[in-house]
A and B are shown apart, each in its own frame.
Chain A
């Protein structure tokens, strides 16, 4: 079974839970930027959380299926169309062989996900089917989809069994708002900011610029000030430079003190910019949902609070799965 891509959309890629374990040699984890939405899409069609999905960015693809297919579209709000007729999102859909799936204009957020029973069946590379476009590995030939591609779909798992409930209840769908509060843990280099700089970071209003992709998101706002110092040997001349160090996924750097950049799943693994903080893992999906213009507040939390938030998110996901009639 396969999907035939009629038009590819802006940047449609195969993604899964990611390619962890190779960041030390510069290969980022990749994977669906909004893991929560992707996982619930998989749940709706009877997949495990591991199956690969199609991540659509702003402009979705138009595709046809060559066999009957069970699929679901989750993530950012968008009009879903089957043969031009509107269909609900966050709901299991049955397509017949030859049916065409397409999309209207996205109404908020950045990315929506097409989950299909059996998953997108591209070969695993280093343990993952995720596309890392910059490195040209994984996914469909290491790149975003193009018109004319024939994307393989796997066989249904567990004899095609699906959950009892066919729709994710409203209360378990993420909110795609134009305002966000993003929780961060400060460090390692927040001490390099002046008091005023730190105050701007934590109390200023920051807006997502159009310079935002799978590698990272750039924000505009009041800027920050760095403490002057004699730069150590090996560091660049700007006070926002450090001697090269590893970057955490979600870490925030502010080159030149002007526009903070949050590194996301396709980011480089290290470099010479000081990281003032790191977005907590529970808020990385939230950051990924931020469209250009989204007004953002950064709030500092402790590691204990970050861990509690991670647990809370896992519970929310489990409750969403339970609402579909799934266990664990």
Chain B
């Protein structure tokens, strides 16, 4: 298992915008460099990308929740 952690504080979103489909869902195949969510802070949106390939196991943070630097957002089952 590999954890994708947030490098910055802010509000986590799974979707690129309201009414749009999520970047990724549980069970999806994830590639290295794929965007899996965004963090909003200081009116800026920073894409969170996976640094491993595998299957998206679970989300540790809900849509619209606050995260701190170093918090695990997503768990990926590698392979």
Give residues in A with beta carbon < 8 Å to B.
10-11, 57-59, 105-107, 210, 212-213, 291-293
Which listed residue, B11, B46, B68, touches A59 by the CB 8 Å rule?
Answer: B46
State the 5 A-B residue pairs at the shortest beta-carbon distance, nearest first: A58-B8, A213-B42, A292-B9, A106-B69, A105-B7
23 A-B contacts, Cβ less than 8 Å apart? Answer: A10-B42, A10-B46, A11-B42, A11-B44, A58-B7, A58-B69, A105-B5, A105-B70, A106-B7, A106-B69, A107-B69, A210-B11, A210-B40, A210-B66, A212-B42, A213-B42, A213-B43, A291-B9, A291-B69, A292-B10, A292-B41, A293-B66, A293-B68
Cross-chain contact A10 with B44 (CB below 8 angstroms): yes
A105 to B3, CA, bound (A): 14
Interface range, B side: 10 to 19
Q: Which residues of A contact B68 (CB under 8 A)?
A: 291-293
A210 to B8, CA, bound (A): 11
A4 to B16, CA, bound (A): 30
Within 8 A of A (CB), among B19-65: 40-44, 46
The smallest C-beta distance from B66 to any residue of chain A, in angstroms, reads: 6
With A11-B42, A57-B42, A58-B41 known to touch, is A210 a contact of B9 (CB < 8 Å)? yes
With A10-B44, A11-B42, A213-B42 known to touch, is A105 a contact of B9 (CB < 8 Å)? no
Instruction: Beyond A10-B41, A292-B9, list 16 extra A-B contacts (CB 8 Å).
Output: A10-B8, A10-B44, A11-B42, A57-B42, A58-B8, A58-B41, A59-B46, A105-B7, A105-B70, A106-B7, A107-B69, A210-B40, A212-B42, A213-B43, A291-B69, A293-B68
Q: Which of A105, A107, A291, A293 has the most CB of B within 10 A?
A: A105
The smallest C-beta distance from A240 to any residue of chain B, in angstroms, reads: 23
A11 to B5, CA, bound (A): 20
The smallest C-beta distance from B24 to any residue of chain A, in angstroms, reads: 21
Q: Which residues of A contact B5 (CB under 8 A)?
A: 105
A325 to B7, CA, bound (A): 36
The smallest C-beta distance from A163 to any residue of chain B, in angstroms, reads: 31
With A10-B44, A11-B42, A58-B41 known to touch, is A107 a contact of B70 (CB < 8 Å)? yes
Q: Which of B42, B43, B70 has the most CB of A within 10 A?
A: B42
Q: Which residues of A contact B66 (CB under 8 A)?
A: 210, 292-293
Q: Which residues of B contact A291 (CB under 8 A)?
A: 9, 68-69
Q: Which residues of A contact B43 (CB under 8 A)?
A: 213
A106 to B67, CA, bound (A): 13
Cross-chain contact A210 with B10 (CB below 8 angstroms): yes
Cross-chain contact B9 with A293 (CB below 8 angstroms): yes
Q: Residue on A with the closest CB to B40?
A: A210
Q: Which residues of B contact A293 (CB under 8 A)?
A: 9, 66, 68
A106 to B7, CA, bound (A): 7
A9 to B8, CA, bound (A): 11
A57 to B10, CA, bound (A): 12
A11 to B41, CA, bound (A): 10
Cross-chain contact A106 with B8 (CB below 8 angstroms): yes
The smallest C-beta distance from B68 to any residue of chain A, in angstroms, reads: 6
The smallest C-beta distance from A13 to any residue of chain B, in angstroms, reads: 12
Q: Residue on B with the closest CB to A109?
A: B69
Q: Residue on A with the closest CB to B7?
A: A105
Q: Which residues of A contact B41 (CB under 8 A)?
A: 10, 58, 210, 292
A168 to B46, CA, bound (A): 33
Q: Which residues of B contact A11 (CB under 8 A)?
A: 42, 44
A213 to B41, CA, bound (A): 9
A217 to B27, CA, bound (A): 39
Q: Residue on B with the closest CB to A104?
A: B7
Cross-chain contact A105 with B69 (CB below 8 angstroms): yes
The smallest C-beta distance from A7 to any residue of chain B, in angstroms, reads: 11
